[in-house]
Amino acid sequence: MNFHKRVLLGSLVVVFDFNIDRIDVLPDVLGFFLIATAFDSVKTREALIGKTISLVLAIISFILLFTRLQPIGFPVLYSLYPVLVESIVGALIILQLAYVFIVSTQRLPELGTGIPKVFLGAQLFIYAATGLTPHFTTSDAGSWVIGLLVISIICYIYYFGFLWKRKSFERETSELPMKTLVQFPQ
């Protein structure tokens, strides 16, 4: 399985939650682990960083499977703890996305170079703006959340399209017949 296909499948598991009776059938930890294996298949410094970020996200999501984001006890930590965890996870996901683009460009430089700054900027905006939602009135918060949801859907359509195109191209280039080597008489 090629790099882009693993990242695509792992990202689908992370983005889409499939729950049956409040049980997450495909927990995010599986998606992050699959993305880590994709990075592991590439032997560059950037892929090693992406793999490390993915494994940290897998560990955090595994821990979050068994803990609540709302701790019992200290009132000051009650409001700080979920925001802190969400901020760390959000920052790590944005870093992971950046390294997906970096490694993808290394693998297939003929399809273009660079990191899509608008996409990553939109992701940063979504994570930062989500924290503002509790400060709005109920009607304004609804509009705000719908706007963020629309931006998020557009971003993920772009991201999945990017991965799909590169997955197909990577498969096509790996299936090309090897050039025959000229053999000299002995």
Q: By CB neighbour count within 10 A (0-12 exposed, 13-18 middle, 19+ buried), where does 20 fall?
A: exposed
For the chain, what is the total number of helices (H) and then of strands (E)?
A: 6, 2
- Whether residue 83 is contained in a domain is answered as yes
pLDDT band, very low/low/confident/very high, at 93 (cuts 50, 70, 90)? very high
Position 78 scores a pLDDT of 47
Mean pLDDT (whole number) for 57-82:
67
Distance CA 87, CA 186 (A): 66
pLDDT band, very low/low/confident/very high, at 98 (cuts 50, 70, 90)? very high
Which letter does DSSP use for residue 131 in this model? T
Position 9 scores a pLDDT of 94
Position 72 scores a pLDDT of 52
Distance CA 186, CA 171 (A): 36
pLDDT band, very low/low/confident/very high, at 157 (cuts 50, 70, 90)? very high
Position 47 scores a pLDDT of 95
> Does residue 178 register a pLDDT over 80?
no
Maximum CA extent, the chain = 84
Two tokens, residue 97:
């996305």
- Whether residue 87 is contained in a domain is answered as yes
- Whether residue 181 is contained in a domain is answered as no
- Whether residue 159 is contained in a domain is answered as yes
CB atoms within 10 A of CB 141: 14
Instruction: List the domain range (segments joined by +) for residue 125.
Output: 3-168
Position 114 scores a pLDDT of 67
pLDDT band, very low/low/confident/very high, at 34 (cuts 50, 70, 90)? very high
For the chain, what is the domain count? 1
- Whether residue 177 is contained in a domain is answered as no
Mean pLDDT (whole number) for 10-25:
82
Indicate the SS3 state at residue 137. coil
- Whether residue 23 is contained in a domain is answered as yes
* Mean pLDDT of all residues belonging to the chain: 82
pLDDT band, very low/low/confident/very high, at 180 (cuts 50, 70, 90)? very low
pLDDT band, very low/low/confident/very high, at 39 (cuts 50, 70, 90)? very high
> Does residue 183 register a pLDDT over 50?
no
Determine if the pTM surpasses 0.85: no
- Whether residue 64 is contained in a domain is answered as yes
Give the Cα-Cα-Cα angle 68, 76, 92 (nearest 5 degrees): 55
Two tokens, residue 155:
């971003």
Alpha helices, DSSP H, located in 2-44: 3-15, 28-40
- Whether residue 182 is contained in a domain is answered as no
